[in-house]
C-alpha cells in the first residue's frame, strides 16, 4: 500500500484522496489536513483542534503569495492599486466562492444550522488547507498550489472592476494622505449561534468610522465605508 494511504480510518483515506485530486498535493501528515477541515462548531464537542490556527497561518501565506503574484502581473500599478486588488482577492467572500467551487463543502466537518454561512466556512477551510500545505510541504509547494488554483478559479482583471472594497480604499486614502489609521475591535457580542463584531477606525486618536458584522472582515468593511464618508465630508 502507498504511504499516502497508511491512514487507519476511512475518513482519513478519503480526505487524502480529496487533497490529492483537488489541490494536487500528497499529504505527508494527514492530521494537519484533518484539522484544516474541522470547523469549531464540531471541534468544541471533541478534544480535537479546530482549523482556526491553520486558518490564521494560511491567511498570512496567501497574503504573501498573492502580493508577489500581483507585483509580477501588474508592473505599472501603484502600491495603493495593488493593495486594493489584493484585498479583493484575499477576502472571505472570494475565497469562500473558490472553496465551494472546489468542493470543500464535501469534506469540511461542521454542524449545519440556521446560522451557518457555508461560504464563510469554505473560505476559512481553504485558508486552513493552504496553511496545512505550508506546514506539511513548505512555502514553495504552497505557492505553486495557490497560484495554480487562484489562476484557475479567479479572473484578476475582472475582480479589479467589481464593486469597491472599502477597506482597501481607506488604506489607499491613508497612504496617499499620510494619515496613519488603525482598526480596533471594540466589542464582540455573543448572540448564541453567532457573534457580532464591532470595529472602529481611528486616525490621530479620533474615531473616523464604526462598523459591525457577523465576521471581523465584514465589520471592518462597514467601518471602512463610514470612514470613507467621513474623509470625503472633511475634505469638502
Question: What residues are labeled active site?
Answer: 59, 127
What pLDDT score does 44 carry? 62
Mean pLDDT of 175-190: 92
The model's pLDDT over 139-170, given as tens digits with 9 standing for 90+, comes to 999 999 999 999 999 988 777 666 567 888 89
User: For residue 194, how many C-alpha atoms fall within 13 Å in the half-sphere facing its CB?
Assistant: 14
Mean pLDDT of 186-196: 87
Give strand pairing partners of 209: 201
- Kindly state the percentage of the chain with pLDDT values over 70: 89
Q: Is pLDDT of 179 > 50? A: yes
Q: How confident is the model at residue 3 (pLDDT cuts 50, 70, 90)?
A: very low
Q: Is pLDDT of 213 > 60? A: yes
Q: What distance in Å separates the CA atoms of residue 70 and residue 89, rounded to the nearest whole number? A: 10
Just give the CATH number of 3-159: 1.10.1520.10
Q: What distance in Å separates the CA atoms of residue 87 and residue 188, rounded to the nearest whole number? A: 23
**What SS3 class is residue 206?**
strand
The pTM (predicted TM-score) of the whole model is 0.66
Q: Is pLDDT of 191 > 90? A: no
Residue 192, Cβ neighbours under 10 Å: how many? 7
DSSP string spanning 11-27? Answer: HHHHHHHHHHHHH----
Identify the helix (H) or strand (E) that includes residue 198: strand 195-203
Domain with CATH 1.10.1520.10 in the chain: 3-159
Q: How confident is the model at residue 5 (pLDDT cuts 50, 70, 90)?
A: very low
Q: Is pLDDT of 195 > 50? A: yes
Domain with CATH 3.30.160.20 in the chain: 166-235
Give strand pairing partners of 109: 38
Q: Closest Cα to residue 228, out of 177, 153, 160?
A: 177
The model's pLDDT over 92-129, given as tens digits with 9 standing for 90+, comes to 888 999 999 999 988 888 776 555 678 888 999 999 99
**What SS3 class is residue 196?**
strand
Mean pLDDT, the chain, whole residue set: 86
C-alpha distance across the termini of the chain, in Å: 71
Give strand pairing partners of 211: 199
Burial class (CB in 10 A: 0-12, 13-18, 19+), 138: exposed
Virtual torsion, Cα 50, 116, 62, 158, nearest 10 deg: 170
Between 229 and 43, the higher pLDDT residue: 229
Q: Is pLDDT of 6 > 50? A: no
What pLDDT score does 8 carry? 56
Which set of grid coordinates corresponds to residue 8? 487507519
Residue 69, Cβ neighbours under 10 Å: how many? 18
Just give the CATH number of 166-235: 3.30.160.20
What pLDDT score does 119 carry? 86
Q: Grid coordinates 479589479 are at which residue?
A: 160
Amino acid at each position: 500500500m502507498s504511504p499516502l494511504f497508511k491512514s487507519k480510518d476511512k475518513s482519513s483515506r478519503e480526505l487524502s484522496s480529496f487533497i490529492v485530486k483537488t489541490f494536487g498535493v500528497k499529504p505527508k501528515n494527514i492530521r494537519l489536513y484533518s484539522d484544516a477541515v474541522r470547523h469549531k462548531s464540531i471541534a468544541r464537542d471533541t478534544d480535537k483542534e479546530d482549523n482556526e490556527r491553520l486558518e490564521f497561518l494560511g491567511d498570512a501565506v496567501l497574503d504573501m503569495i498573492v502580493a508577489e503574484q500581483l507585483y509580477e502581473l501588474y508592473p505599472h500599478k501603484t502600491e495603493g492599486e495593488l493593495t486594493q486588488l489584493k484585498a479583493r482577492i484575499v477576502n472571505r467572500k472570494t475565497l469562500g466562492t473558490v472553496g465551494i467551487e472546489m468542493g470543500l463543502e464535501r469534506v469540511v466537518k461542521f454542524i449545519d444550522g440556521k446560522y451557518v454561512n457555508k461560504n464563510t466556512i469554505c473560505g476559512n477551510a481553504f485558508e486552513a488547507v493552504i496553511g496545512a500545505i505550508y506546514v506539511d510541504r513548505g512555502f514553495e509547494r504552497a505557492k505553486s498550489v495557490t497560484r495554480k488554483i487562484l489562476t484557475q478559479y479567479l479572473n484578476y482583471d475582472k475582480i479589479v472592476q467589481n464593486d469597491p472594497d472599502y477597506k482597501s480604499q481607506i488604506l489607499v486614502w491613508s497612504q496617499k494622505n499620510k494619515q496613519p489609521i488603525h482598526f480596533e475591535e471594540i466589542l464582540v457580542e455573543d448572540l448564541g449561534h453567532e457573534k457580532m463584531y464591532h470595529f472602529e477606525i481611528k486616525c490621530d486618536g479620533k474615531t473616523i468610522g464604526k462598523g459591525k458584522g457577523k465576521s471581523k472582515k465584514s465589520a471592518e468593511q462597514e467601518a471602512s465605508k463610514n470612514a470613507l464618508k467621513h474623509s470625503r465630508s472633511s475634505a469638502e
